[in-house]
Structure 1
Amino acid sequence: MTSRTGREQLHDSISNYEAGDLPVARISDCICDCGSEVFSLGFDDDRGVAVRLCFACDSEVALLDSQEVLDHADSDIDLDAAECTCGGIDFTVAVGFAISGNDVRWVSVGLRCEDCAIAGVYTDWAIGYSPSMHLLERI
């Protein structure tokens, strides 16, 4: 029996989640420009926003269409900090994409705790506009 890598565990948790009852067609791993793969994550489930912060270089990236949501918000959005049940805040991050036709229809942001290795989807939201395939590159 072959043991699963952390990335495989994370990808499995995203694929099995099937947000919006749509199968995940693609999963992309978040990797910082500095090469780091460990982040903290701020998110807002109600507005569909996720922002990753690199522990190595402190760069901040708004995932998917989060920057547009933040730019057009009527007021400041207070993001919830992702925290594992073990208390960990360092995560490997990946995004799952449900695609229908030529558009992304749903996104799922999955995290794998660096402390205890638990993996799961922390936030997800529907994409209700077209075209939306550009989101595949915004991780």
Structure 2
Amino acid sequence: MVHLTRDLLTVLLEHATDAEPAAVNVLLSATSAADLSGETTTVDPETPVLTHFTLPDIGGSVDAVFGMDLSTPSERGRARFLSHPTGELRVNETDDLAAVVVVAVPPWEDDCVAAFDRAGRELPLHIVDAVPPEEFPPE
């Protein structure tokens, strides 16, 4: 089962709406359910819940110099969100893959989203009404 916060889903769908007719492809990161505030009683505390996304252009200049993705923190980014403006609610052969791929299609509503493994098999998707802890930039 894939767990995703309501706030993250809302932001991802808004991003897909704004980008249309272009596709969206962003890296997703998880937070342990134990670290979330809100309705997490249905989720085991050790379960990773998708809570954050990283835009693809962040760290681009560093990546170009070193030839690898140095912008993604370690242990993050094992999932990906993809929008398919053409309306195909599935993983395509040309998609960037991850352990979990969340795909959305128009009209960009909750029932137009599904989760898949890298082989394209659909996984149960559970929306969690919870928020991650507030993060503060280093001083």
Task: Report the TM-score when normalising by structure 2.
Answer: 0.26
Quick check: which one's strand share is greater?
A: 1
Task: Report the TM-score when normalising by structure 1.
Answer: 0.26
